[in-house]
Amino acid sequence: MQAGCGGGSDPSNHKVPVVPHVFILVEENHSYESVIGNPAMPYTNSLAQQYSLATQYYANRHNSLPNYFVLTTGDMVTTDDTFTGTVSSDNVVRAITAAGKSWKVYAESLPSVGYLGPTVFPYGKDHNPFTYFSDVLNSSSQAANVVPFTQLSTDIQNGTLPNYAMIVPNFVSDGHDCPNGASNCTDTDKLATIDSWIQTNVGPLINSAAFNNSVLIYTWDESSIDDMAHDGGHVSTILIGSSVRRNYQSTTLYQHQSALRLSMELLGIKDFPAGSATASDMNEFF
């Protein structure tokens, strides 16, 4: 397996391609060490081995919502998962729309198309940052881009995938809660459920003709609560796609603002919201 030197990327050697589609998949509350090399997650580890793995990627905060905001606004906005405010700062919706490109959120268990309301278990509002943006709250046409996860297979089949999409699993599929409504379970139970869900529900996207020349960033909102490294802890982040370096491991330090920067660069967008403007680029993965 190729290993990165850890000294950052050399733009003369690696250039981020402009691709038709970028997907961000976010899972919940598990450390890098619990995921990478775990036999309960064979599909995830096969992706990490086949494509590119960021071995020194860290979340920005413990609790969910701030990390989702960094991924989409470049700023934590709040440290409170019960935040009910409106976010009016620059964000991916504004940047994508200004560039004349399209976006969607595919949210599992979302009650209905355009639903912007509170958590309805097993759907979690605090895992869907788009529902806080003024750009979405003030526009019915933008709100219509917040869709149930079931729409993804339809869009693959119809060739109607957006340029940018965030995939938001529900509280069970993202490892936040136990499978099958259980009150107690092991971490292995949670991680095996995540892995099976991704293979069943995201695997068809990766293997589809519609995904050709596109990129999927598969990351985690935060590490286990006892891991305070770089404030949010060590998480696994895998880059997947035909243009991504194969069998590659990076040792460069990254956080969520770098993934935001990369998601914009992959679409040829020069608007880098807040902290993503000064974040380390991820050129080395290409």
What pLDDT does residue 14 have? 87
Determine the Cα–Cα distance for residues 98 and 264; give it in Å rounded to an integer.
12
What domain count does the chain have?
Answer: 1
Place of tokens 């690696």: 14
What pLDDT does residue 3 have? 61
What pLDDT does residue 7 have? 41
Q: Centre a 10 Å sphere on the Cβ of residue 189 and count the other Cβ atoms it contains.
A: 16
Per-residue pLDDT of the chain (286 residues; tens, 9 = 90+): 666 544 444 545 789 999 999 999 999 999 999 999 999 999 999 999 999 999 999 999 999 999 999 999 999 999 999 999 999 999 999 999 999 999 999 999 999 999 999 999 999 999 999 999 999 999 999 999 999 999 999 999 999 999 999 999 999 999 999 998 889 999 999 999 999 999 999 999 999 999 999 999 999 999 999 999 999 999 999 999 999 999 999 999 999 999 999 999 999 999 999 999 999 999 999 9
Tens-digit pLDDT profile for residues 145-168 = 999 999 999 999 999 999 999 999
- The range of the structural domain enclosing residue 115 comes to 2-285
Q: Whole-prediction pTM value?
A: 0.96
Single out the residue of 215, 266, 282 nearest to residue 95, CA to CA: 266
CATH number of the domain that 271 lies in? 3.40.720.10
Edge-to-edge strand order for the sheet containing 22-27? 2-3, 248-250, 52-58, 234-240, 215-220, 22-27, 164-168, 103-107, 146-148
